[in-house]
Amino acid sequence: MGVTGSPTNINQGTRTKGGIGESTLRPDGILKVTGEFAYSSDMWHEDMLWGHTLRSTVAHAEIVSIDVSEALATSGVYAVLTYDDLPAEMKNYGLEIQDTPVLAHGRVRHHGEPVALVAADHPETARRAAAKIRIDYRELPVVTDEASATAPGAPLIHEGRDDHHIGHVPHPNIVHRQPIVRGDAAAAEARADVIVKGDYYFGMQDQAFLGPESGLAVPAEDGGVDLYVATQWLHSDLRQIAPVLGLPEDKVRMTLSGVGGAFGGREDLSMQIHACLLALRTGKPVKIVYNRFESFFGHVHRHPARLHYEHGATRDGKLTHMKCRIVLDGGAYASASPAVVGNASSLAVGPYVIEDVDIEAIALYTNNPPCGAMRGFGAVQACFAYEAQMDKLAARLDMDPVEFRQLNAMEQGTLLPTGQQVDSPAPVAELLRRVKAMPMPPERQWESAGEHADVRALPGGLSNTTHGEGVVRGVGYAVGLKNVGFSEGFDDYSTARVRMEVIGGEPVATVHTAMAEVGQGGVTVHAQIARTELGVSQVTIHPADTQVGSAGSTSASRQTYVTGGAVKNSCEAVREQVLEMGRRKLGTHHPAWATAELLLEGGKVVTDGGEVLADIADVLEDEAVDIELEWRHRPTEAFDLRTGQGNGHVQYSFAAHRAVVEVDTELGLVKVIELACAQDVGKALNPLSVVGQIQGGTIQGMGIAVMEEIIVDPVTAKVRNPSFTDYLLPTILDTPTIPVDVLELADDHAPYGLRGIGEAPTLSSTPAVLAAIRNATGLELDRTPVRPEHLTGV
């Protein structure tokens, strides 16, 4: 890994070991790799019951009747609940639009929708009892695409919609529409010497996290409930759960349990309400753990998309205009579709300077599985299409694809199609230069490695192993643009409580936030920030719960930026209060106490010159300093619903990839040999963790390029492959080498100059792999994932 760039200002307390900029190890790392870490599915409670959800077997149907009598009569069953048993007037929930019923009422809108709940003394008893529930369905016509959703007389997925998007969409089966119009694309088209068009399809991807949905609900003596759950946003869950339980929020106490990955799939509720309902009905703790089959139906997926793009360029390679239309399939319920539309439209141009654009993005309501947040969040689909277009234009102009991109690359000061100016470093051309300059892996590596080489040790491992004569190498490049944080006027803030006290004669800091640690390494970074700002070695990370203010969602690459900013803010306030206490108690004998140039470092109060003035233990004695503060990033604003103009995003991140693939053109097999990446991270707070995030995001992008897709029957809208047997995922044996070049160009508006990093590598890795396969085969390949039949025509 290379780390280069301009320095950032950090408190001198970083001399305390384990502070910002160091590759400190994860506190949960050993536990996880040895199998000792306690995930939410490992929780246990005395006298615990097991919950199970009965789901619809059809995608769109009227519920004529439900008979639960046989299930209730099953030995060991404590409760069976349907919609009619829900305790509160509010019976729907949702992230933005409350259109999702806790249990289906009247009709089901997608395959796998929850219809009834069972609580029993054993999980198999609960499953057998659920199988005895008799439901009479009268099937209805299904809506599966834009044509069927907007045709005259099309079935309305949600009749009587009254959400705030209904006034600006052309049809009730369209969740949200966002145009972005700047300049005059039609007039600019006349100036183009070359015009290329393309129609692209992006498949539905599953988050495929390691730990399926799970949690434990425990009824409390005060009539409330304590919920221990794996989630991405405790306070958002709380806001949705409490009303449908008929409880005030202070009676629903939530604690984060071990999370086995998320990637957006835990932003929406899954089993949370169901477990609480069963616990409150039975008066006993209730645990729900999905198996892998249930998990495919229990969370949203990445939106599949159809994208039409048109670009023009002059003979010397300058982009003249761009037109595009993006259609996202949101499935049966809204989830995060409106925000995904906002991202897809506002980032549809990518990291390029184009003054004249005409963009439209919509999300549909259909009877397909609900789709919502997944790493990259709308920008991934757009990047796949606009990068394919860049390669087409370069080929038509007989230009090097990297040089063509560099010629049109945005930079700091560029105006985006939304009219927003990029006011922090945007090193797009430099990232492309760096990734292109990386050494290439050897060709036909199995030959160069020697006859006794272990193929498992070679880049790409055993993935689609093929050593035939028809193997052709391909190289492809891509670069992407991703926003960081919540956008479009959302009040994006986080809260942190920091406590400093003396325990056993040593100063100790405790950091308490509601941040969901889902594997991104926030627990490590928060301790690093506390060591840096407070100069202490011992930092305790308090379990995340709703007894502290909201930290927002672990998504949008925002947690290090926003919750890290809150931890820094609270630590600074604690430091100042400790110093003020020192001034009152010990400061009369030294003039430095009267100034602000004091730091805490190594358990001491020091001047900025390093002179020790006092022990923190002497300052605090038996006292403690405990401060909870909020921190907000800069305000954003909603995009205009007619033109798309507005300062909608707070920060941008950039990554570039070079993919090297080997394709057996006779068998249609693809082996990804290398995915080199260059990314600007602003400031690498934990360099080891930064590289891990980049490599992980890169592999998720590779997965959608060559393997991953949830297949939905176009006639019945049923999911065909809800298992890891049929839904293919990259494993360690498929993983290529991933050299990473980390650039550090500080964003002066962000804490420590950092830039959110988790999503950007997922954008550009997918089109880079597709570009490399095109380079090897000469085929257009306008969809993801690429399958053998797309390469052989068989």
Q: Which domains does the chain have, with CATH numbers?
A: 10-16+493-631 (3.30.365.10), 42-140+212-259+266-298 (3.90.1170.50), 424-480+649-792 (3.30.365.10)
pLDDT at 13: 37
In a 13 Å sphere around the CA of 300, the CA atoms on its Cβ side amount to: 30
Decide if pLDDT at 227 tops 50: yes
On average, the pLDDT of the chain sits at: 94
Q: How confident is the model at residue 444 (pLDDT cuts 50, 70, 90)?
A: low
pLDDT at 367: 98
Average pLDDT over residues 254-263: 97
What pLDDT digit, counting tens, does each position of 682-729 carry?
999 999 999 999 999 999 999 999 999 999 999 999 999 999 999 999
Q: How confident is the model at residue 457 (pLDDT cuts 50, 70, 90)?
A: low
pLDDT at 442: 82
- Environment class of residue 404 by beta-carbon count within 10 Å: exposed (0-12), middle (13-18) or buried (19+)? buried
Q: What is the pTM of this model?
A: 0.95
Q: How confident is the model at residue 4 (pLDDT cuts 50, 70, 90)?
A: very low
| CA–CA dist 571, 508 (Å, integer) | 12
Q: From 636, 681, 173, select the one nearest 427 (Cα to Cα).
A: 681
pLDDT at 9: 31
Q: How confident is the model at residue 5 (pLDDT cuts 50, 70, 90)?
A: very low
Decide if pLDDT at 609 tops 90: no
Q: From 261, 146, 177, select the one nearest 212 (Cα to Cα).
A: 261
Decide if pLDDT at 155 tops 70: yes
List of long-range contacts for 411-416, beta carbons under 8 Å, 24+ apart: 414/353, 416/346, 416/349
List of long-range contacts for 786-792, beta carbons under 8 Å, 24+ apart: 786/670, 786/705, 786/706, 787/668, 788/667, 788/668, 788/669, 789/668, 790/668, 791/663, 791/665, 791/668, 791/670, 792/665, 792/666, 792/667, 792/668
Q: How confident is the model at residue 342 (pLDDT cuts 50, 70, 90)?
A: very high
| CA–CA dist 231, 234 (Å, integer) | 7
Q: How confident is the model at residue 678 (pLDDT cuts 50, 70, 90)?
A: very high
pLDDT at 459: 63
Q: Which residues contact 655 (CB under 8 A, 6 or more apart)?
A: 431, 479, 480, 482, 677, 678, 679, 680, 694, 760, 761, 763, 764
- CA 691 to chain CA centroid, nearest Å: 17
| CA–CA dist 394, 308 (Å, integer) | 18
pLDDT at 14: 41
pLDDT at 733: 85
Q: How confident is the model at residue 503 (pLDDT cuts 50, 70, 90)?
A: very high
Average pLDDT over residues 72-86: 98
Q: In what order do the strands lie in the sheet with 598-601?
A: 598-601, 604-607, 612-615
Q: From 271, 260, 282, 262, select the one nearest 227 (Cα to Cα).
A: 271
CB 277 within 8 A of CB 269: no
pLDDT at 452: 65
Amino acid sitting at position 117: L
pLDDT at 456: 66
CB 346 within 8 A of CB 417: yes
Q: How confident is the model at residue 12 (pLDDT cuts 50, 70, 90)?
A: very low
CB 12 within 8 A of CB 599: yes
Q: How confident is the model at residue 212 (pLDDT cuts 50, 70, 90)?
A: very high
pLDDT at 2: 44
Terminal-to-terminal C-alpha distance of the chain: 42
| CA–CA dist 499, 538 (Å, integer) | 12
